[in-house]
């Protein structure tokens, strides 16, 4: 008997319902016996088939339940492994960090540079390690006289992400005398608080209270930004508060090109200042890729464009310019100390490149650098090919080089590259007998706003101690 005759009858979705060998056996029974016997055997086969299907269905259900229980057990196993690893890490870190905590407690006896190196490394630790620390030593460092140490101690406290650590961070908004630390503390709250729901709910009223009680527009605007970061829907009205002072532009301009002589260059710059409210505040003739560097203060961006694009670049000896605009964050991105130019024998501008988000950190650290007769007089965060520009004064080139090397060594995590432009020695007047003076000149401009004027030493000291 041909098996292919019955293929279509006993096939479903191109798959055989019953084994073809069994069918051949059934048809042999039908040939030998009666049709009734054939039907009886066929019925038995169908019952056998359906019983098999029920068994397969039951087996599938059992397999699914087994798979579900296996997945649940695997998840429970992962949780147990994670808890075990955390306990091991807890024990390991407590053991490893015990000596570090002891060292941290001894930091108050160390020099500022040693404190700074340590707290920089501590601020860059993995958050898993920071979870196991005792924050009391870091709270002490957050009240250090060094602005740089206080900044990175504040960062370490915020990255711990506990209620106690954030209370210490927010206390700095009220207690630290320097606005750079106050604003940075609020910035860290806006960065890390939204990541932890419980902390966000706990400190939301505290941030609103700062806005209500603080009189500083700078602090209020930063606190409003924090509120916006913590609330995805609401935008606080104090987020944007335009201020006439905020529109002022300070920029350092690097000039390539040589004037006829130093006296004619001085006359050209004085002529430009007659056409501007402020103008060129100071300039120096330097060695290096560029020939002259100037500092320009303008009432707004349009005046800055006027000074650079029309007045400065219109000078016949100017070949090209590179403008570094100072980041417009008052008391945070720019500072300058009082200078005694008459006694300076060596002066240089240093252009620093920093890792992302460390521009303000480098500026804060440079604030503290006042090594004997060598000093950093000015530092600014800028837009352009460099991130920070600083002016260094010293009594000799060797002292200046030693200072730059010390900065690079002690602040290596914050300094990627640096480029030095040294101010030449000479005179602007051919009849001047003082041939060894520095070719750096301060020009007379309009009344300079407080935030762009040189800070007195008393101001620096007041900003470097806790109230």
Q: What's the pLDDT tens digit per position in 79-118?
A: 888 877 776 666 555 554 555 555 555 666 667 777 777 7
Tokens of 82: 């994670």
Is residue 137 located within the same domain as residue 100? no
Provide the Cα torsion 405, 409, 415, 421; round to 10°.
0
The mean per-residue pLDDT over the stretch 28-54 comes to 71
Question: Helix, strand, or coil here: 334?
Answer: strand
Whether the predicted pLDDT of 228 surpasses 50: yes
Q: What's the pLDDT tens digit per position in 229-271?
A: 888 777 777 776 655 556 788 999 999 998 888 888 989 999 9
Whether the predicted pLDDT of 171 surpasses 50: yes
Is residue 234 located within the same domain as residue 250? no
Give CA angle at 459 (337, 107), nearest 5°: 90
End-to-end CA distance of the chain: 108
Question: Helix, strand, or coil here: 162?
Answer: coil
Is residue 151 located within the same domain as residue 294? no
CA distance 421 to 443: 20
Q: Which of 224, 239, 254 is the last residue before a domain boundary?
A: 239
CA distance 466 to 116: 18
CA distance 33 to 109: 111
Is residue 275 located within the same domain as residue 293? yes
CA distance 274 to 444: 10
- Of 349, 330, 352, give the one whose Cα is nearest residue 282: 349
Q: What's the pLDDT tens digit per position in 197-214?
A: 888 889 989 998 888 887
Q: What's the pLDDT tens digit per position in 355-383?
A: 887 899 899 888 876 555 568 889 999 99
Is residue 227 located within the same domain as residue 250? no
pLDDT value, residue 109 = 64
Domain that holds residue 365: 245-463
- Does the residue 394 lie in any domain? yes
Q: Are 353 and 383 in contact (CB under 8 A)?
A: no
- Does the residue 121 lie in any domain? yes
CA distance 182 to 422: 35
Residue 312 DSSP symbol: I
Is residue 258 located within the same domain as residue 277? yes
- Does the residue 111 lie in any domain? no
- Of 347, 279, 353, give the one whose Cα is nearest residue 310: 279
Is residue 324 located within the same domain as residue 435? yes
Percent residues over pLDDT 90 in the chain = 21
For residue 133, give every residue at least 6 positions away whose Cβ sits within 8 Å of its Cβ, in sequence order, or none. 97, 101, 160
Is residue 252 located within the same domain as residue 280? yes
- Does the residue 110 lie in any domain? no
Is residue 43 located within the same domain as residue 125? no
- Of 348, 324, 352, give the one whose Cα is nearest residue 416: 352
- Of 270, 322, 276, 266, give the one whose Cα is nearest residue 298: 276
**Which residues make beta-bridge pairs with 418?**
352
Q: Which of 105, 134, 163 is the last residue before a domain boundary?
A: 105
Q: Which of 105, 139, 158 is the last residue before a domain boundary?
A: 105
pLDDT value, residue 10 = 44
Backbone dihedral angles phi then psi of residue 449, each to the nearest 5 degrees:
-55, 150
Q: What's the pLDDT tens digit per position in 407-442?
A: 888 888 889 999 999 998 887 766 555 555 778 888
Whether the predicted pLDDT of 161 surpasses 80: yes
Is residue 386 located within the same domain as residue 250? yes
pLDDT value, residue 390 = 94
Whether the predicted pLDDT of 12 surpasses 60: no
Backbone dihedral angles phi then psi of residue 447, each to the nearest 5 degrees:
-60, 120
pLDDT value, residue 6 = 44
- C-alpha distance from residue 421 to each of 12, 255, 268, 340 (Å): 87, 12, 22, 20
- Hunting for tokens 């916006």 — which residue is that? 228
Whether the predicted pLDDT of 22 surpasses 70: no
- Does the residue 428 lie in any domain? yes
- Does the residue 437 lie in any domain? yes
pLDDT value, residue 444 = 80
- The 3-state DSSP composition of the chain as helix, strand, coil percent (nearest 5) reads 55, 15, 30
- C-alpha distance from residue 129 to each of 86, 100, 160, 248, 406 (Å): 11, 12, 9, 44, 30
- Does the residue 320 lie in any domain? yes
CATH of the domain at 387: 3.30.70.3460
Sign of CA dihedral 240, 245, 247, 251: negative
Specify the number of domains making up the chain.
3
Is residue 152 located within the same domain as residue 276? no
- Of 182, 177, 178, 186, give the one whose Cα is nearest residue 236: 186
- Does the residue 373 lie in any domain? yes
Is residue 211 located within the same domain as residue 344? no
CA distance 141 to 406: 22
Backbone dihedral angles phi then psi of residue 345, each to the nearest 5 degrees:
-105, -20
Tokens of 265: 């260059």
Question: Helix, strand, or coil here: 299?
Answer: coil
């Amino acid at each position: 008997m041909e098996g292919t005759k019955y293929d279509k009858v006993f096939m479903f979705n191109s798959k055989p319902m019953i084994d073809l060998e069994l069918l051949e056996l059934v048809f042999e029974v039908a040939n030998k016996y009666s049709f009734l016997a054939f039907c009886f055997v066929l019925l038995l086969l169908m019952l056998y088939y359906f019983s098999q299907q029920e068994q397969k269905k039951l087996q599938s259900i059992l397999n699914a339940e087994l798979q579900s229980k296996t997945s649940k057990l695997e998840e429970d196993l992962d949780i147990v492994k994670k808890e075990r690893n955390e306990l091991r890490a807890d024990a390991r870190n407590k053991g490893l960090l015990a000596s570090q905590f002891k060292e941290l407690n001894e930091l108050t006896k160390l020099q500022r540079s040693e404190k700074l190196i340590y707290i920089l490394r501590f601020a860059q630790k993995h958050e898993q390690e920071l979870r196991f620390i005792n924050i009391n030593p870091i709270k002490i460092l957050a009240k250090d006289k060094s602005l740089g140490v206080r900044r990175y101690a504040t960062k370490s406290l915020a990255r711990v992400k506990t209620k106690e650590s954030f209370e210490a961070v927010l206390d700095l908004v009220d207690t630290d005398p320097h606005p750079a630390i106050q604003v940075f503390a609020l910035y860290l709250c806006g960065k890390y608080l939204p990541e932890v729901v419980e902390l966000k709910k706990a400190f939301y009223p505290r941030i609103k209270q700062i806005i209500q009680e603080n009189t500083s527009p700078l602090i209020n605007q930063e606190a409003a930004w924090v509120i916006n970061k913590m609330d995805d829907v609401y935008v606080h009205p104090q987020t944007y508060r335009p201020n006439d002072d905020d529109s002022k532009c300070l920029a350092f301009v690097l000039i390539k090109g040589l004037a006829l002589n130093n006296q004619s260059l001085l006359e050209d710059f004085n002529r430009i200042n007659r056409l501007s409210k402020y103008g060129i505040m100071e300039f120096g003739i330097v060695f290096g890729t560029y020939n002259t560097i100037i500092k320009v203060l303008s009432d707004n961006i349009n005046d800055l464009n006027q000074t650079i694009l029309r007045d400065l670049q219109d000078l016949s000896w100017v070949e090209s310019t590179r403008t570094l605009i100072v980041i417009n964050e008052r008391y945070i991105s720019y500072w300058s100390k009082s200078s005694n130019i008459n006694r300076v024998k060596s002066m240089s501008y240093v252009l620093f490149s920093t890792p992302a988000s460390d521009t303000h950190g480098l500026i804060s650290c440079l604030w503290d650098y006042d090594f004997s007769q060598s000093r950093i007089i000015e530092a600014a965060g800028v837009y352009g090919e460099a991130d920070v520009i600083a002016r260094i004064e010293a009594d000799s080139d060797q002292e200046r080089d030693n200072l730059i090397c010390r900065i690079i060594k002690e602040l290596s995590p914050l300094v990627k590259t640096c480029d030095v432009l040294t101010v030449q020695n000479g005179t602007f007047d051919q009849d001047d007998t003082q041939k060894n003076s520095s070719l750096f000149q301060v020009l007379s401009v309009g009344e300079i706003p407080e935030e762009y004027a040189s800070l007195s030493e008393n101001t620096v000291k007041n900003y470097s101690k806790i109230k």
